[in-house]
Amino acid sequence: MQPLFESLAAEWEHGAAAQIEICLALHRMLALMARQLLAGDESRSNRTLIEQAAEYIRQHYAEPLSLDSLLAQTPVSKSWFLRLFRQYMGTTPYNFLLSTRITRAKELLVLTDFSVCEIAHQVGFGDESNFSTRFTAMVGQSPQQYRKSAMKPAEN
């Protein structure tokens, strides 16, 4: 923007003959400001779109979710959605879903006496084996180990 201001000031000194150049410089400045404003609006719109998708995942994590079901709610292409999701959430939609499910499973393991199989189904895993494998990979302990360690009284 500064070079445009300098150009405008230089043309201003030339007097009336430079009116066209002054108008062109003003037009370029306004166009640049409009592009920056629209880019800001697009960025806010993209963030809102991804926040809505993340909230949808948080609310429906226990249901069978697919990328196609998320895309059905968004007005953007698959590749653009994935790029935006990674940009704003720091991970893929699938990993965000897994993380949401595992977080809820950890709560259920500590707060309830449901079996691991029941918890697996409540958080959206089709079977206990897949759940246990994913849980162990993400947490570093099996669901049973996690429950036992979380239930231990704090040592002084």
How much is the pTM? 0.70
Q: Give the pLDDT confidence of 59-82 residue by residue, as tens digits.
A: 999 999 999 989 988 889 999 999
List, for residues 81-124, the tens digit of each pLDDT value: 999 999 999 999 999 999 999 999 999 999 999 999 999 999 99
For the chain, the three-class secondary structure string (H helix, E strand, C coil) is CHHHHHHHHHHHHCCHHHHHHHHHHHHHHHHHHHHHHHHHHHHHHHHHHHHHHHHHHHHHCCCCCCHHHHHCCCCCCHHHHHHHHHHHHCCCHHHHHHHHHHHHHHHHHHHCCCCHHHHHHHCCCCCHHHHHHHHHHHHCCCHHHHHHHHHCCCCC
